[in-house]
Amino acid sequence: MIDEKGQVLYVGKAKNLKKRVASYANLKGLSTRILGMVAATADMEFITTHTEVEALLLESNLIKELKPRYNILLRDDKSFPYILVTGDHEWAQITKHRGARSRRGEYFGPFASAGAVNETINALQRAFPLRSCTDSIFSTRTRPCLQYQIRRCTAPCVGKISHEAYEQIVHEAREFLSGRSHRTQQELSTRMQEASSNLEFETAAVYRDRIRALTQIQAKQGINIPTLGEADVIGAYRDAGQTCVQVFFFRTGQNYGNRAYFPAHAKSDTIEEVLTAFVGQFYADKTPPSLLLTSHEVDGRTIVEEALAVRAERRVNVRVPHRGAKRQLIEHAVNNAREALARRLAESASQRRLLEGVARIFGLETPPERIEVYDNSHIHGSAALGGMIVAGAEGLLKNQYRKFNIKQEDLTPGDDYGMMTEVLTRRFSRLLKEDEDREGQQWPDLVLIDGGTGHLHTAQQVFADLGVSDVGLAAIAKGPHRNAGRETLHVPGKAAFSLEPNDPVLYFLQRLRDEAHRYAIGSHRAKRSQKIGRSTLDEISGIGTKRKRALLHHFGSARSVEQAGLADLEAVEGISNGVAKAIYDHFHPED
Low-confidence ranges of the chain (pLDDT < 70): 76-77, 181-182, 213, 215-226, 348, 378-383, 437, 439-440, 480-485, 523-536, 538-539, 589-591
Q: Which tens digit of pLDDT belongs to each residue from 324-338?
A: 889 999 999 999 999
Q: Which residues contact 383 (CB under 8 A, 6 or more apart)?
A: 524, 527, 528, 531
Could you tell me how many residues make up the chain?
Answer: 591
In the chain, the N- to C-terminal Cα span, in Å, equals 98
Q: Which tens digit of pLDDT belongs to each residue from 519-569?
A: 888 766 665 555 544 566 766 777 887 888 888 777 777 778 888 888 888
Q: How buried is 495 (Cβ within 10 angstroms: 0-12 exposed, 13-18 middle, 19+ buried)?
A: exposed
Contact 390, 535 (CB under 8 A): no
What are the CA-CA distances from residue 103 to residues 85, 106, 109, 146, 344 (Å)? 10, 9, 15, 27, 38
Residue 416 bridge partners (DSSP): none
Q: To the nearest 10°, the Cα dihedral for 239, 363, 395, 486? A: -140
CATH number for the domain whose boundaries are 226-345: 3.30.420
pTM above 0.75, yes or no: no
Q: Which residues contact 201 (CB under 8 A, 6 or more apart)?
A: 195
CATH 1.10.150.20 in the chain: give the residue spans: 536-587
For residue 528, the model assigns a pLDDT of 55
For 109-158, list the strands marked E by DSSP.
Answer: none
CATH 3.30.420.340 in the chain: give the residue spans: 356-532
Reduced to 3 states (helix: H, G, I; strand: E, B; else coil), residue 21 is: helix
Residue 396 bridge partners (DSSP): 391
For residue 257, the model assigns a pLDDT of 81
Instruction: Please name the helix (run of DSSP H) or strand (run of DSSP E) that holds residue 108, with its range, or none.
Output: strand 105-108
Q: Which tens digit of pLDDT belongs to each residue from 211-246?
A: 776 766 655 555 556 677 789 999 999 988 899 999
For residue 316, the model assigns a pLDDT of 94
Is the CATH number of domain 356-532 3.30.420.340? yes
CATH class of this structure's domain 536-587: mainly alpha
Query: What is the CB-side half-sphere exposure of residue 60 using CA atoms within 13 A?
Result: 24
Reduced to 3 states (helix: H, G, I; strand: E, B; else coil), residue 555 is: helix
* Whole-number CA gyration radius for the chain: 32
Q: Which tens digit of pLDDT belongs to each residue from 96-112?
A: 888 878 889 998 888 87
Q: How buried is 67 (Cβ within 10 angstroms: 0-12 exposed, 13-18 middle, 19+ buried)?
A: middle
Contact 173, 94 (CB under 8 A): yes
For residue 336, the model assigns a pLDDT of 93
Instruction: Please name the helix (run of DSSP H) or strand (run of DSSP E) that holds residue 33, with its range, or none.
Output: helix 32-40
For residue 202, the model assigns a pLDDT of 76
Q: How buried is 288 (Cβ within 10 angstroms: 0-12 exposed, 13-18 middle, 19+ buried)?
A: buried
506: amino acid identity, one letter: L
For residue 532, the model assigns a pLDDT of 47
What are the CA-CA distances from residue 125 to residues 132, 153, 214, 356, 540 (Å)? 9, 7, 10, 32, 52
Rounded Cα distance, 298 and 304, in Å: 8
Question: Smallest Cα–Cα separation from 443: which of 374, 369, 343, 387?
Answer: 369
